[in-house]
Amino acid sequence: MEKVVNMSHWRRKLVLWMIMVVQLSLFLSVSSTEIHARKLLKDNDINTNDVRLHISDRQVIIDNGLVEVTIENPSGYLIGIKYKEMENVLERRNHNSNRGYWDIVWDDDAYDKLETKHVEVITQTNDIVELSFAKTWNSKNHGKTLPLNIQKRYIVRRGISGVYMYGIFERQEDFPEAHMYQIRIAFKLKEDKFRFMAISDTIQRVMPQSEDRIKGHSKPLDFKEAVLLTNPSNPDLKGEVDDKYQYSTENKDNKLNGWISDYDAVGFWIMTPSNEFRTGGPHKQDLTSHVGPTALSMFVSTHYTGTEIDTFYKEGEGWKKVFGPVLIYLNSASSKDDDHRKILWDDAKRQLSEEIESWPYNFTRSEDFPHSQQRGQVNGQLLVQDRYMDKQLMQAKSAFVGLAAPGEVDSWQKEGKGYQFWTQTDKIGRFNIKNVRPGVYNLYAWIHGFIGSYKLDLNITIQPENKIELGTLIYDPPRNGPTLWEIGIPDRTAAEFFIPEPYPRYVNSITNDGADKFRQYGLWDRYSNIYRDSDLVYTVGASNYSKDWFFAHVPRKTGDDRYRPTTWQIKYNLQDVNNRGTYTLQMAIAAASFAEVEVRFNDPNSDRPHFTTRRIGYDNAVPRHGIHGLYRLYSIEVPEYRFRKGNNTIYLTQTRSDNPFEAVMYDYIRLEGPNSLV
């Protein structure tokens, strides 16, 4: 009997030991993000205060126990955000109109900060307060003020350490015509606190101060926004270039940017859970944060598109649009944690995920912002048919598919007034575009690895709660014959081409990641350094486009700040020439700025080129450190007599050379033989 008892005793010990092992393994399996979350002070878990509102003649205060938001009355300027021990995260030395504000750049570079005239309480409960600061345009101010009706909305919710902001802008049909080139929200943070900026997992750094950009501390460079830091307040930054365009990102990636105060271990973040209200589609690049410290939420701009994007509003054209909501989020960690930056960044990403999951928000109180049950969705599958690549239909893997205003193929990248809704297909080309606002759209798509763009020749009308099944759609990319040779990858960027090392004197430490190498300053002048006496020559079959094809076709510097046009050569061999058919040169352009490309075949001295793009582009992608701008495709038909058996050369001449920024970036070039399929 005693032996049985002892066995039972050891069994209990064994079970307890096994439980301890399981618990230990669970503890060790906890991700670093979860550990950081535990180390972060979880305001939302410990604070259940009601949302309180106080309105006076000069200001409005909303307080939920986590943040205290102060708005000037009736202008609608955000003048203060109190968080933790920081009385105001915004720069108190600035004028009230220069802390947190909307602004619009309109006709002839006029600048309007959208100062409003009255405030209205939209919602006030213990859980949420929503306010509207508004102004109605008066025709007596014709030519003096922006013809636009304005509502600036603020929302503070229980348990959320931040403030939601959105705008409702309207033009009535009798309003005079106007351009609205830029619409954004800007925040100027405390300069003595916020020194560390974060844009992405790889783009994070200690930043210069605003005084570092003025004379005596820096040297102006060739492009007006760029300076070389010669005597910065932080000696570690001496010799670096500062340029706000080095921190631009595509709309699809521009969801989170902000700043950290290391001393207080406090983060200030702008979160954009949806791009539906941004213009130009998922790939349009725009500003994020930059020296100031300045944090931006960009909605409309001509950056990386120029004035080709539609920002003109005609008289007689009614228009209304909701921009946002975006969330201004604050978080904190212990300043004793050496990794407080990572803790704050990871928590900001966690909060962003929650915001994306909650989109479209159900707590807004505007009939102009439809909730999920007032929206629709579009489903389908996209396949590709290119018989020269595969006799079978191919799945459009990871294709970008979107709904935008009706227009021509690729018109979405120049569309600047309406809403756009984009997604990516799965491995077999299926797509599901959810939460689409009611309206009339066209469906557009482009597919990595294939030139051109798809457009469904059908207007799609979205109504609340409807679900449209489009079935299987087939894209026939431009193709006239078999591929004889190709240069690059059809991906709408020049990223696969040769990007040189920057001049050591112009390095920015933010671009340590190889994928961001194109962001370095002055790369355009490296062409003249590499090709001192003659221009680029690419030999098909021997050259490698990642090493031998410069990422931008720029002018060549000849000295004394003078430039000359450049002619690139593509050398290739034809074993035979088909005398009964037409050849095609497919030339896809990833960016262009005041440029012109002339194409000649085997005769570089002919007075008239076989083809010219004429002057194209305003996107300034080269000096603004973009790797693409607007996409263009030219299918150039070439008669057989332009070719010869054996060695051939195509000459690409970029004719404009008034300055180093007149340039094109190629996406992809392909020579096709005559059609060989019956």
The reported pLDDT for the residue numbered 43 is: 47
42 pLDDT band, cuts 50/70/90, is very low
Q: What is the CATH number of the domain that holds 81?
A: 2.70.98.10
Q: How many CB atoms lie within 10 A of CB 603?
A: 12
Phi, psi at 191, each rounded to 5° = -70, -30
Least confident piece of the model among 2-6, 325-329, 540-544, 623-627: 2-6
For residues 240 and 231, is the Cβ–Cβ distance under 8 A? no
90 domain residue, yes or no: yes
pLDDT at 528 over 90: yes
- Reading the block at residue 182, the tokens are 């830029």
- Tell me, yes or no, whether 423 lies in a domain: yes
Q: What is the Cα–Cα distance from 506 to 243, expressed in whole angstroms?
A: 11
Shared-domain flag, residues 338 and 393? no
For residue 176, CA distances in Å to 113, 145, 171, 294 come to: 19, 11, 9, 33
Chosen domain end from 297, 324, 358:
358
Using alpha carbons only, give the angle 539, 540, 545 rounded to the nearest 5 degrees.
85
- Measured CA to CA, the distance from residue 114 to residue 151 in angstroms comes to 9
Query: What's the domain range around 259?
Result: 52-358
Q: Are 634 and 611 in contact (CB under 8 A)?
A: yes
Average pLDDT over residues 451-474: 97
Q: What is the CATH number of the domain that holds 471?
A: 2.60.40.1120
389 and 494 part of one domain: no
Q: Are residues 301 and 437 in the same domain?
A: no
Please check the confidence at residue 79 and state whether its pLDDT lies above 60.
Answer: yes
Q: Quote the DSSP letter at residue 289.
A: E
Instruction: Judge whether 570 and 542 are in contact, CB under 8 Å.
Output: no
Judge whether 602 lies within some domain.
yes
Cα(11)–Cα(462) distance, rounded to whole angstroms?
Answer: 66
Q: For residue range 330-357, what is the model confidence (pLDDT) as tens digits?
A: 999 987 778 999 999 999 999 999 999 9
More confident residue, 35 or 598: 598
Please report, for the domain that includes residue 540, its CATH number.
Answer: 2.60.120.260
- Residue 33 located in a structural domain: no
Q: What is the pLDDT of residue 509?
A: 83
| Residues 671, 481: Cα–Cα separation, whole Å | 9
User: What's the DSSP call for residue 90?
Assistant: B
Other CB atoms within 10 Å distance of the CB of residue 463 = 12
Which one, of 150, 154, 155, lies nearest residue 168 by Cα?
150
Are residue 339 and residue 255 in the same domain, yes or no? yes
Q: What percent of the chain has pLDDT over 70?
A: 92
- End position of a domain, from candidates 445, 475, 505: 475
Q: What is the pLDDT of residue 17?
A: 57
pLDDT tens digit sequence for 94-109: 999 999 999 999 998 8
pLDDT score of 660: 93
What end-to-end distance do the CA atoms of the chain give, in Å? 93
What pLDDT band is residue 40 in, cutting at 50, 70 and 90? Answer: low
Has residue 657 been placed in a domain? yes
d(CA 353, CA 256): 10
Query: How much is the pLDDT for 21?
Result: 47
Please give the structure tokens belonging to residue 107. 């006709």
**Residue-wise over 123-149: b if at least 16 C-beta within 10 A, else e?**
eeeeebbbbbbbbebeeeeeeeebbbe
Widest Cα–Cα separation across the chain: 112
**Residue 315 belongs to some domain of the structure:** yes
Task: Enumerate residues 6+ apart whose C-beta is below 8 A from 40.
Answer: 331, 332, 333, 343, 344, 347
Q: Of 475, 497, 512, which residue is a domain's last?
A: 475
User: What is the Cα–Cα distance from 610 to 598, expressed in whole angstroms?
Assistant: 8
Query: What type of residue sits at position 449?
Result: G
**Judgement on whether residues 354 and 424 belong to the same structural domain of the protein:** no
Q: Is the pLDDT of residue 31 over 70?
A: no
Claim to verify: residue 521 and residue 610 sit in the same structural domain: yes
Cβ atoms of 635 and 584 within 8 Å: the answer is yes
- As to burial, measured by CB atoms within 10 angstroms (0-12 exposed, 13-18 middle, 19+ buried), residue 252 is middle
CA contacts within 13 A on the Cβ side of 207:
33
Least confident of 44-58, 91-105, 108-122, 654-668: 44-58
Mean pLDDT of the chain: 93
Please give the Cα distance from 375 to 370 (Å, whole number).
7
467-510 residue pLDDT tens: 999 999 999 999 999 999 999 999 999 999 999 999 989 988 87
pTM of the model: 0.92
Name the token pair of 519.
Answer: 């962001």
| 547 and 588 belong to one structural domain | yes
Q: What's the total number of domains in the chain?
A: 3
User: Is 633 inside any structural domain?
Assistant: yes
> Do 400 and 353 have their domain in common?
no
Q: Tell me the sheet residues that pair with 156.
A: 129
SS3 assignment, position 526: helix
**pLDDT at residue 678 in the model:** 58
3-state DSSP call for residue 378? strand
Q: At 18, is the pLDDT very low, low, confident or very high (cuts 50, 70, 90)? A: low
C-alpha distances in angstroms, 523 versus 111, 245, 530? 33, 14, 11
How much is the pLDDT for 37? 46
